[in-house]
Structure 1
Amino acid sequence: MKDKNIKDIINYILVAILFILAFLIIYKVIFAIIYGLLLAYISYPLHKWLSNKTKSKFLSAFFVCVFVFAILLTLIIISIGTLFKQIIDIYLFFQKTDITKIFKEILPEFISSSEISENVASYLSSYVSNILASSLKQINEYFSNLPNLLIQLAVLIFTFFFSLKDGDVAIDYLKSIANFKKETEEKFLKSFKEVTNSVLIGQIFVGIIQGIAAGIGFFILGIQNVTLLTILTIIASMIPLIGAWIVWVPIDVYLFLTGRIAEGFGLLIYGTLVVSLLDNILKPVIVSKRTKINTGIVTIGMLGGYLLIGFTGFILGPLILSYVLLVLEIYKKDNYEEKKEVS
């Protein structure tokens, strides 16, 4: 083997090692980086307008970051505060009340046998206790994991800021590496924007529909503060890490605990079969129609993404599969054109 070939192999190995090390470094914060990039993409029109006014990309990126995070933090604080209050109210009610006794009083109306109703009451009481204990444990774990969350937030903010400030430079650099034809490059960027916009718009649109659907259910069942709960459900539905269930499930538990069994079962059925399923039904249809990608592929992307990385996968799964299909389509067209030119 020639010395040049040996040197090339060593260089390739070194480059591969560097890429592996780079991946390991960003692995733990990869989703913070992705969401920072998505926020930058969404906020870019505002940044572009503001940078033209201020004549400074730095100031524009700074003001956009402050504005966006002020809105997000306000919504998150209001949402978490309200939900936390619901959980505390349920917990205090549980501490002051004999839940088994309540179930024993209610169940005979539905179950004639006193022995069966007593056993069911004990089981339901134990089940509610376990759910409550599990919820409080998760809240405790959430706060104990606060340092890691703060690091993730810091990475997200830095990614968001520098993607706005230096995004054009990064895109030009990637273009130079990809070395596509001008026509191919324009097609790729256009399709990339269409896919990304479709997934993001689908997430927002479905979140609004889920919130309105939940609000209708709350109103019919006579639940108080319908407007506030509807807004909270809309916000929660738009965030893939949370979802509509985080609003209606605590309310449902509270209905059962306060003896409103009919309303509790009504909300349980409505929330499970209508509110929560809307996301899985509507989003693939919206994304596939806007991007002209098969609904089955979008659905597989959502479900596969969820199984791999949790709720974040509902957004990233369809995006990644769509990008793969996009790259294959561009490669297919370029390959066809090259063969046509040769012949």
Structure 2
Amino acid sequence: MYGKLETRTFLAMLVGVSLAFILLMKPFFGPIFWAVAIALIFHPVRERLAKRIGDRPNVIALLTLLICVVIVVIPVLALVTSLVAEGLSIYEKIQGGELRPGEYIDRVNQSFPAIEAFFAQFGMDFAEVRDRVVSAFVGGSQFLAKQALGFGQNTFQFFLGLALMVYLAFFLLRDGSKLVDLLIQALPLGDARERLLFAKFAEVTRATVKGNLLIAIIQGALGGLIFWLLEIQGALLWGVVMAIVSLIPAVGAALVWVPAALYLAATGEIVSAIILTAFGSVVIGLADNILRPIFVGRDTKLPDYIVLLSTLGGIVMFGINGFVMGPLVAALFMAFWGIFIREFGEVPGTAVHTTSDRATEMQQTEKSGQE
């Protein structure tokens, strides 16, 4: 009796200390999450370097991290800096009266009266929609302006998070396998299940980060290019915005180029409007419809509608990190239920999955994840 009390007390304290540690790490969730993502994505690079260099974990981890910084971190920082600078410029033009979003919307409405009738069919007042769009546009540019002004004030905090991410990524690249083995020993789920779940976690993280970011870069570059060729003001800004909104499946970059095409048509630039519409529908649209199922849906083994819903839900719940967290939660949900159905939901008379069966499935999942 006394032994059970000791065990229960210890487990209760273990849970309490673990929760306290999670709350302690909560302010650093972003750097920790992206450090884990970097370690998972660049794990194949690390393995290739290990085959060439040999058993030198510190050197291998450092070289892998340098490759990551050169091809990922530095370009992303340059892109974000350009986005903030362009947003600040547009905000200043709005404040100075050079840009009038409300007038642009009114001009489109005058050229296409059917738009107002379309909103009326759903019981929506076009004037109210117009005001909300203008407020959102001004609010977005104001947000970027604040980020630009606040960057100097929060420079230390920003670079602290960046340094923490790089620092953690180094140790995860060096000792990641040991940490996984330690977690497998600690968690009371069964080794085969734990390896299967860790493999699914790595597989989904790689697929969503690589796939979504690759699609975002392609769509943003294509959108910025066509805006630049059509001499639309702020081509760099709109290209970056298209890259960001392309993280939303099914809709994505159309949120930017469709209103731009309507405005071009309303102002009499019919040829440019037709070119933008055709390019957006065929080139940018097909880039999303073809590449997303290949890079995201296929690798995560999730249906397209689950990818869409989990991405939207993840963005709402976790912010920008949600485009990875959402599909990850969905994949783990399906993995847990798949294990439950196989182990506890067999129909009488059917074959029961043994531990060796689950281990074989886990090894196949790990191989597919590494590929």
Q: Verify same fold: TM over 0.5.
A: yes
Q: Quick check: 319-328 or 164-173, which moved more?
A: 319-328
Q: Give the 3-state SS of the residue equivalent to 1:158 in structure 2.
A: helix
Alignment-derived partner of residue 292 in structure 1: 301
For 1:305, the equivalent position in structure 2 comes to 314
Q: Which residue of 2 aligns with 1:66?
A: 66
- Report matched runs for 1:233-312 at 5 Å: 283=292, 287-312=296-321
Query: For 1:199-234, what per-residue CA distance to the aligned partner results, in whole angstroms no more than 9, with x for missing partners?
Result: 2343134224422541464156334897x7898578
Displacement of 1:64 in angstroms is 1.9
Instruction: Measure, in 1, the Cα distance between the counterparts of 2:30 and 2:183.
Output: 21
Q: Quote the offset at 1:155 in angstroms.
A: 2.5
Report if the CA contact (8 A) 1:35-1:156 is conserved: yes
SS in 1 for 2:42: helix
Q: List per-residue Cα deviations over 1:130-178 (Å, max 9, x = no partner).
A: 6654542343244433333233223311221111111111121122234
The one-letter amino acid paired with 1:321 is: A
Whether the aligned pair in 2 keeps the contact of 1:61 and 1:161 (CA below 8 Å) is yes
Question: Is the Cα–Cα contact under 8 Å of residues 208 and 234 in structure 1 kept in the other structure?
Answer: no
2:91–2:138: 8 Å Cα contact kept in structure 1?
no
Please list the CA deviations of residues 46-74 of structure 1 after superposition, one character each: whole Å capped at 9, or x if unmatched: 22222341531011112222332233343
Instruction: Report what 1:332 is aligned to.
Output: 341
Is the CA contact (8 Å cut-off) linking 2:88 and 2:148 kept in structure 1? no
Separation in structure 2 between the aligned mates of residue 86 and residue 225 of structure 1, nearest angstrom: 7
- Highest relative contact order (Cα 8 Å, sep 6+), 1 or 2? 2
Q: How many residues get paired?
A: 316
Q: Tell me, which stretches of 5 or more residues in structure 2 are unaligned?
A: 112-130, 355-371
Residues 32, 155 of structure 1: 8 Å contact kept = yes
Contact 2:37 2:206 in 1 (8 A): no
| Distance of 2:169 and 2:157 partners within structure 1 | 18
RMSD: 4.9
Equivalent-residue separation in structure 2 for 1:206 and 1:238 (angstroms): 7
Distance 2:152 2:233 in 1: 29
* Structure 1 partner of 2:45: 46
CA distance in 2, matches of 1:290, 1:182: 24
| Contact 2:87 2:237 (C-alpha < 8 Å) held by counterparts | no
Once residues 86 and 2 of structure 2 are traced to their aligned partners in structure 1, the CA distance between those partners, rounded to angstroms, is 71
The match for 2:160 among 132, 151, 156 is 151
Q: Residues 301 and 317 of structure 1 are in contact (CA less than 8 Å); yes or no, is this contact kept in structure 2?
A: yes
Structure 2 equivalent of residue 12 of structure 1: 11
Given that 2:31 and 2:165 are in contact with CA atoms closer than 8 Å, whether structure 1 keeps it comes out as yes
Deviations 1:291-324 (A, max 9, x none): 3323333222112111111121121111112012
Aligned residue for 2:75?
Answer: 75
- Is the 8 Å Cα contact of residues 85 and 148 (structure 2) preserved in structure 1? no
CA contact 1:204–1:238 (8 Å) conserved in 2 = no
> Is the Cα contact below 8 Å between 1:188 and 1:326 reproduced in 2?
yes
Write the distance in 2 (CA, Å) between the matches of 1:218 and 1:73.
Answer: 26
Structure 1 counterpart of 2:181: 172
Q: Which runs of 5+ in 1 are unaligned?
A: 112-122
**1 CA distance for matches of 2:186 and 2:326?**
26
Say whether 1:200 aligns with 2:209.
yes
163-172 or 290-299, which deviates more: 290-299
Code of the residue aligned with 1:56 in structure 2: it is: R
- CA distance 1:143–1:284, shift in 2 (3 Å): farther
Offset at 1:43?
Answer: 1.1
- Deviation of the 1:187 alpha carbon: 4.5
- Are 1:210 and 1:237, in contact at CA under 8 Å, matched by a contact in 2? no
Q: CA deviation at 1:238?
A: 8.3
Return closer, same or farther for 1:224/1:177 CA change in 2, 3 Å cut-off: same
Q: 1:211 aligns with which of 208, 211, 220?
A: 220
Kept after mapping to 2: 8 A contact 1:51/1:59: no
1:151/1:284 Cα in 2 relative to 1: closer, same or farther (>3 Å)?
farther
Give a deviation string over 1:109-139, Cα, whole Å, max 9, x none: x69xxxxxxxxxxx99x96876654542343
Query: In the superposition, relative to structure 1, how do residues 38 and 238 fare at CA in structure 2: closer, same or farther (>3 Å)?
Result: farther
SS of alignment partner, residue 29 of structure 1 = helix
Distance 1:202 1:57, change over 3 A: same
Residue identity opposite 1:332 in structure 2: I
Q: What SS is found at the alignment partner of 1:214?
A: helix
Structure 1 pair 160/239, CA: closer, same or farther in 2 (3 Å)? farther
